[in-house]
Amino acid sequence: MKIILATAGLMALLWGYAHAQSQPAQLVYSAKTNNQTFDKVRLFKPSQHDNSGLSRQLPASGMLELDEEALARALHQSPEQLSLSIPATGGSPEVELELVRVDAVPPVLSVVLASTGKPFYRDTGRHYRGVIKGQEGSVAALSLFEGEVMGLFSSEAQGNLVLGALPEEGPVRNSYVIYNDREVLKQLAFDCATSDEGAAYTREQLEMPATMRAVNDCIGIYLEIDHDVYQSKGGAPGTMNYITGLFNQVATLYANESISIQLSEIYLWDIPSPYSGTNSYNLLTQFVNYRPNFNGDLGQLVSYQASGGIAYLSGLCNPYSPRHSFSSINSTFSTVPAYSFSVMVVAHELGHLFGSRHTHACAWNGNGTALDACPGYTEGSCPLPGNPSDGGTIMSYCHISSTGINFSKGFGPQPGNVIRNAVNAASCLQACGNNGGGDPPPPPGGDCQDNELVLSIVLDAYGSETRWTMRDSNNNILSSGGPYPNRPNGTVVEESFCLPDGCYAFHVTDSFGDGICCGFGNGSYTLADTSGAVIASGGNYGFGESTGFCLPLADEPDPDGCLTIDFNDYELLSFGGAQDAGYARFYENGQVLKIGGNAWKAIELQYQVKPETIIELEFGSTIEGEIHGIGFDDNNSISSNRTFRLFGSQNWGIGNSNDYPGNAAWKHYVIPVGEFYTGNFNRLFFVADHDGYPGNGNSYFRNIKIYETGQCGETGRLPGMELALLEEEAVPLSLSLFPNPAKDNLTLNFLSPQAGQAYIQAFSLTGQLVLEQELGVLPGANEGALSVSGLPSGTYVLKMLLGKEQAVEKFVVAGY
């Protein structure tokens, strides 16, 4: 018979009141009672792409499509409170979330790279926690990054709902899934090796703490991320997004128990780690031996190796016992993101570090009995109790039974009180600061006292073929990367190095022998210092190439400090993934760029934007679209906080220069970029966004100069043909295909603006080049033929390249 535990009366109520402000529901309640506005955000719409296999595997799931512009806008505005509506789709009902922004992950987090032993700083995204609207007792966590969203929501009625991105397949991108995780948790069996031996908990440990802890005190969590996770996520940026989003979900579950945890540091193995094995105990032992001390109150090694997890039952502030744990997480289940499984494992093992044992241990209720018998047994000699009917808690094994685990129940009263008492009794905790109990990290850019270099790789469709190394003069490997996941063309990988004076060799390889340009994409790489001086670059390198160099680099004199953009010197690239659906044309011998038809384009440009940096240009438009603008970026995702809006019907981007009169004439702009953002960038992008009907807005750019204040003096403006004359002169490259579907031959009808050689390429929907051909063309109307009889039935993409112009159309090969 269970002993009914007494409450601690008024002191317990006061404790709960003092700490309730960290609970997600209380955050939402406080914001509402203070009349704070919840910005309405809609990031998703039901997907038009069916995934019958996923529906069979996870009936309670739905397919969604991410609106990248809405995400970029939300990141730029970063509202303190937001209301997010996720539409009903497939087997998933509509979900409305009420969320408040939190700093479980410090805005500037120190991530130490194993290759250098020095911090790597990066924006850690925007993190929110709150509730499912109208569902009492629910809990929700959401993280926003450039181009990505991670979410986990739980309620008694709906169970645990996971929101995450699906792998991109062919032209289908920005696909997301929302699903109930019950079947996933059951099949991804978790077995914790932490021992439940020891005396039963005392009545005092199982009661709500009778004294109050300082509200600001929190526990700093040190995470060490194994090399296999780093490889799976494509490098440091992807790994940071995944881990910080995962941690926000874990921290939300602890906050729901009035326990504040915050990341203190991430140590990232960007080179092979010293940890190896298939046994969680061995991996924990290696972790303790290799990392006896760390920056945090509790530490955890996170890896794909072994299975399950293990931790010491040390409690906090124990100088005589390790503060270490190990979690074997799963990135995906089949093709869906398995965030909730990894959240369960990490939260469970941290729970052991706080001092909680499993719920099936004979340690509870004040009489040494178990709370449940979800695994079918108890740890000890106590009888089997019944199982909860509405889901188990975090320290249970109920995920392997029909009971399941419901995150909205948290740790449950008794395990939660054990943890709260451990926190309350801890003497070593400090107030939550920028890094959870220690001094705030130094500002970005101030940590490298030697030579800082940046490597930027734009991958082709076969990232698994790409590897690179950085070696010193003794041929020692200082850093390495790859292979990377096979993803759509244009995936960007960035790495930074801090190297002392000396000589080095950078080597990049491709296992297939075709480089990263140009058979299966337009990939490239650039190694440069932070001033933008290029050390090595390329893309069409066959099996590989090496570049030797010595640091510091010799300074190259700049006669006037002005960078003038001549489009003849650059390759125009697609920007923003699926956002770019438009065309580009050049006039006046490459001095004028015109884009339109819902276009996002970019040129590769390594540039360090400083507080004094200015872009000077002339802009024009003959048809208003939604967004017309220009800006710098360091990845292939659109960002409103980097886009200077010059014209357009949408209030998106930095609007300080949004004064184009719409008179189809050139207007001169001087934009103080450095007043809005600074940093190292690798592309200059141009915008003529027009998603809605008729989608024909256009943008013209010319006379672009980039410089620091005062370096150019009076630049003046080069004369050029007016917009009206350019419009009259323009003959766009247009293409039509028939018959479509085709069986043997495909006829190409196209209008050419010039004479020359047209290069024809046909690609499968996975990006594989299947046909190529050259055609001689004349100005005006042309006709050509392409044999498709050797292609299997299916849908293909045909691309025609003529000079700097291109046209793209889809066609179908029929099997009749």
| Least trusted range by pLDDT, from 194-198, 408-412, 473-477, 635-639 | 473-477
> Under a CB-based contact definition with an 8 Å cutoff, are residues 751 and 780 in contact?
yes
Taking 70 as the threshold, does the pLDDT of residue 178 lie above it?
Answer: yes
Among the listed residues 579, 768, 616, 592, the one whose alpha carbon sits nearest the alpha carbon of residue 691: 579
Residues 468 and 508 in one domain: yes
Residues 740 and 714 in one domain: no
Cα 549–chain centre separation: 33
In a domain, 442, yes or no: no
Instruction: Give CA–CA dist 689/702, Å, rounded.
Output: 18
Q: What is the mean pLDDT of residues 123-147?
A: 92
Sort residue 656 into left (φ over 0), alpha (ψ -120 to 50) or beta. Answer: alpha
| Least trusted range by pLDDT, from 277-286, 434-443, 519-528, 682-691 | 434-443
Model confidence over 82-100: pLDDT tens digits? 999 999 887 778 899 999 9
Residue 786 sits in a domain whose CATH number is: 2.60.40.3080
Per-residue confidence (pLDDT) for residue 491, from 0 to 100: 76
Residues 526 and 544 in one domain: yes
Confidence of residue 79 (pLDDT cuts 50, 70, 90): very high
In DSSP terms, 680 is beta-bridged to 608
In a domain, 127, yes or no: yes
Phi, psi of 650 (to 5 degrees): -100, 140
Q: What is the mean pLDDT of the chain?
A: 83
Number of domains composing the chain: 4
Residues 88 and 205 in one domain: yes
Q: Token digits for 199?
A: 């005396």
Taking 60 as the threshold, does the pLDDT of residue 10 lie above it?
Answer: no
Residue at token pair 């099997």:
815
Residue 474 sits in a domain whose CATH number is: 2.60.60
Instruction: Give CA–CA dist 587/590, Å, rounded.
Output: 5
Per-residue confidence (pLDDT) for residue 394, from 0 to 100: 95
Buried b (16+ CB within 10 A) or exposed e, 470-506: bbeeeeeeebbbbebebbbbbbbbbbbbbbeeeebeb
The burial of 450, by beta-carbon neighbours within 10 Å (0-12 exposed, 13-18 middle, 19 or more buried), is given as middle
SS (H, E, C) 486-506: CCCCCCEEEEEEEECCEEEEE
Residues 469 and 423 in one domain: no
Q: Which 8-state DSSP code applies to residue 675? A: G
Per-residue confidence (pLDDT) for residue 479, from 0 to 100: 76
Model confidence over 391-425: pLDDT tens digits? 899 999 998 888 889 999 999 999 999 999 999 88
In a domain, 3, yes or no: no
Q: Which 8-state DSSP code applies to residue 640? A: G
Residue at token pair 């190796």:
305
Of 714, 729, 744, the last residue of a domain is 729
Phi, psi of 187 (to 5 degrees): -85, -25
Q: Which 8-state DSSP code applies to residue 143? A: E
Residue at token pair 């052991």:
352
Per-residue confidence (pLDDT) for residue 189, from 0 to 100: 64
Residues 425 and 478 in one domain: no
Taking 70 as the threshold, does the pLDDT of residue 314 lie above it?
Answer: yes
Model confidence over 651-707: pLDDT tens digits? 999 999 999 999 888 999 999 999 999 888 989 999 999 988 888 899 999 999 999
In a domain, 4, yes or no: no
More confident residue, 775 or 273: 273
Domain that holds residue 750: 734-813
What H or E segment, with its residue span, contains residue 629? strand 627-633
Residues 605 and 678 in one domain: yes
Instruction: Give CA–CA dist 294/290, Å, rounded.
Output: 11
Per-residue confidence (pLDDT) for residue 591, from 0 to 100: 84
Residues 655 and 770 in one domain: no
Of 698, 729, 760, the last residue of a domain is 729
- In the three-class reduction of DSSP (H, G, I as helix; E, B as strand; rest coil), residue 216 is classed as coil
Q: What is the mean pLDDT of residues 622-631?
A: 96
Residues 225 and 173 in one domain: yes
More confident residue, 52 or 451: 451
Phi, psi of 440 (to 5 degrees): -65, 150
What H or E segment, with its residue span, contains residue 348? helix 339-354
In a domain, 446, yes or no: no
In a domain, 443, yes or no: no
In a domain, 438, yes or no: no
Per-residue confidence (pLDDT) for residue 658, from 0 to 100: 94
Q: What is the mean pLDDT of residues 9-30?
A: 59
Residues 506 and 597 in one domain: no
Residues 746 and 766 in one domain: yes
Q: How far is CA 157 from CA 86, 136, 406, 431, in A?
A: 17, 10, 10, 36
Instruction: Give CA–CA dist 165/233, Å, rounded.
Output: 13
Per-residue confidence (pLDDT) for residue 713, from 0 to 100: 52
Per-residue confidence (pLDDT) for residue 655, from 0 to 100: 94
- In the three-class reduction of DSSP (H, G, I as helix; E, B as strand; rest coil), residue 75 is classed as helix
